[in-house]
Each structure stands twice: as structure tokens, then as C-alpha cells.
Structure 1
């Protein structure tokens, strides 16, 4: 009911069958920048952004840290847990569609002190890709395998980094301080019986 009120009705959004079994907003999120802002913190900014470095344009990427929704422990055995990150945003430099990459990162960071200079490595533990255009809307990234691995390791928190692949395209999303917070949602999937 809380999800339907806050993220559907209050935002005048038709959620249809997208109601999660459980969800969490980030406990921390922040963008980091290279160039002159390599030591600058943006942890309270209303947006998250990513852009690949090109010429004088410094790289931008962003981090999100979530408590893992615990509702999966209550699922009946016939259901399979599916975890997705929901982000609201799109390409802000043109109408073309392009690709972003998502990685699992170390969780030892705080949004009030995170900078490009001290940020966890953004690469290595690849999660998936997000293909998106300029339309500002909710986007979903399946992170089920990454969350399952974290739970198997006894972790209660998981962190992700998102970065652009191709120079010349910048992407912006709402942060938890913005109007459309990122969410880590848990869906209960009942496999077909055949």
C-alpha cells in the first residue's frame, strides 16, 4: 500500500502490474566527477548523472547503496525472487538511444564524502546493461543474480555503480533527494507450470 500511494497515486503513475512484493530506497546515492571536481562531493544533489570522458569533458558516474529488501525470506517456495533497480531519467544530450553499464561495487562509502578520487572501483563485477533514449521515465535493471550472490555471502547491503559507455552522450536520473528516487524492488515471480 505504501508503494502504491507514494510511487503510483502521488506521482499520477499507472503502475499496472508493477507493484513489488517489497522495496527499498537507497540509503546513499551520489554522482562523482573527474577533472576539476575530482575531490568534490555531490551526495546531496537532486540528480545522478553519467557521461564518458571525451576531450575536455571529464567522466561522470554514479553510485547507489541499498539495504536488500528482506521480503524474499517470506516468499512461498513456488515463487522465485526477482530484484530490479528502478531509475527515472534518460539521455539529456539528444534523442539517440545508448548503453549504460552497471557494476557491483564495495559498500564502504558514504555519500557525504564520496568523490571520484576515493570512490570504489567501477568495473569488474559486471551486472548488466541499460539501453535507453531521451525520454525521462522509469527504467529497470535486473540485478537478481548480484543480489542473490550478496545474500549468499551474508550481506544485508549492496552497492552499484552506473557509467556511460560511449562518449558524447550524458544521462541524468533523479537521486533520492529528487522527485523520483531510485528503488531496489523485489518481485515475487511464479514460474509457469510447464
Structure 2
């Protein structure tokens, strides 16, 4: 039941009208990437470039702008933490499975918990900042985070008897982490 409620809220972000609103963010990220590459050109008009990190940063910038309404620079720490978390998970999967091992206070397990705690804190700060901006009327709902928070704002404005769905801040954080 809760999953269906979350899905109905999130599906709105992927309607054609909302996707059309995201095109300027895609375009801006693309033009920034091309401009950065043009600046790297040497005097003869060519250069050698490792595109993998560039495309990773481009993807992160697009995700940051369309999902959270912020630039990659603002979310850089979150992406760094997620990279580290992915590396730790990959390392732990390569080991022999021991039931309950993830609960032991090993160095890797402690670091994974620290990362999870820091990501939650960063997302919570981003959500609080966006909620304040939405209440002040300075932020729109043209991205995923805006839509998730708009469901809460509408719920509280219409009262608890509202037929609209509400997501707690923790639920919004969990959706954003995915």
C-alpha cells in the first residue's frame, strides 16, 4: 500500500509535461560539458581526453539538476560518498558470506554506517532548505524532490482529512537515495 502511494507520487515526475520541463537542465549540462571540452583544445584544435570521468560528472550533474534542483558541485560530497559506499559493498560481496557479519563493528562496516549517516544528513539538509524555499514561494516543483515535498506541503495545507498522499521526511530521504 505504501509502495503504491510512493509510486503514484513519483510517477508524476515522469509524465511528458514534467520531462519537457527538465529539457533546459539537460541542455544546460550538455552545453557546459561541450564548453569545458572546447577550453581543453590545444592550438592545433585537438586534445586527448579521458571521457569516462567527464561522462560520470555529466550524468551526476544531470541527475542533480533534474532530481534535486541543484548543481553537481552542490551534491559533489553526496556522490563521493556513494562512490565510496559502492566500493565498500563490492569488496564485501567478494568475501565469503558469514551470517550476521554486517552487524560486526569491523572497519568497513563502521565506515559504511558513517557514510549512510552522512548521506542522510546531507539529504535532510537539502530537504529542509527546499521546504523553506517552497513555503516562501521561491522554489518550484519541476524536479523529483520538489514533487515529493509538494505532496507533503499540499497534505498539510489541506489538513489531515486531505485525500492526497503524504510522505514523511524519512520516506523522501529513502526515495532520494535510490
TM range, smaller chain: under 0.3
Q: Which has the higher strand share?
A: 1
Using CA pairs under 8 Å that are at least 6 residues apart, name the structure with larger relative contact order, 1 or 2. Answer: 1
Taking structure 2 as the reference length, what is the TM-score of the superposition? 0.25
Query: Quick check: which has more Rg, 1 or 2?
Result: 2
Taking structure 1 as the reference length, what is the TM-score of the superposition? 0.23
